[in-house]
Amino acid sequence: QSALTQPPSVSGSPGQSVTISCTGTSSDVGSYNRVSWYQQPPGTAPKLMIYEVTNRPSGVPDRFSGSKSGNTASLTISGLQAEDEADYYCSSYTSSSTYVFGSGTKVTVL
Amino acid sequence: EAHLVESGGGLVQPGRSLRLSCTASGFTFGDYAMSWFRQAPGKGLEWVGFIRSKAYGGTTEYAASVKGRFTISRDDSKSIAYLQMNSLKTEDTAVYYCGRDSNFAFDYWGQGTLVTVSS
């Protein structure tokens, strides 16, 4: 199972919006609405930000939103803040009953 | 609130074995599937495998990179999940995390434990 494809980096100024894409195949992202997103600041454990494509866990700001079209899922951060600077990973359940992560995207706040 | 703590990491020689533990608290451990992940130094996250709850058979699934070498088990009476790692290779060097599986996502993570495979 190959890693899902994410851009290595995205950047934006405070207050702007950034979108991170996550491209898989019809055997993972395209098959199920079981895509999740994780935020990982340096030296810390990942934190769940989005589950089942669009749902936010309690406590996650509504600046974070998710969507999916075909084999590509996306995470959008609106009103970018300095505290959003981190690595972000997508994950998908697969048709083999396994999980696969994306390659990771570093978000930089300019 | 749910809390997970990994333990058992350390330095091990190639070809040897190591067992990691993930001790859970703050939730009914037996109701949830549990996953293991790893992150090599400076690299991305990799899902290692998971064990379903007893209600779903307590069966396991693994990533191709560890299948046949790693085994996940659980002791619901102690709220612990284990990762038994055999025939370790230098490329298994990573921080290993455990996580709670909920709605096909991982809503709680431990702080991680470092495994270094080196001679």
pLDDT digits (tens, 9 = 90+) for A41-82: 999 999 999 999 999 999 999 999 999 999 999 999 999 999
User: Is a pLDDT exceeding 90 seen at residue A104?
Assistant: yes
Q: Nearest 5°: phi and psi at A57?
A: -65, 160
Q: Residue B70's pLDDT band (boundaries 50, 70, 90)?
A: very high
User: Is a pLDDT exceeding 80 seen at residue B53?
Assistant: yes
Asked if A46 and B109 come within 8 Å (Cβ–Cβ), the reply is: yes
Q: Does B41 touch chain A (CB under 8 A)?
A: no
Contacts of A101 in chain B (CB under 8 A): 44-47
Q: Does B103 touch chain A (CB under 8 A)?
A: yes
The one-letter amino acid at A39: Q
- Cα B32 from Cα B27, distance rounded (Å): 9
The mean per-residue pLDDT over the stretch B28-57 comes to 97
Contact A87, A102 (CB under 8 A): no
**Tokens 């190591």, located at residue:** B18
Q: Residue A2's pLDDT band (boundaries 50, 70, 90)?
A: confident
User: Is a pLDDT exceeding 80 seen at residue A1?
Assistant: no
- Cα B48 from Cα A10, distance rounded (Å): 27
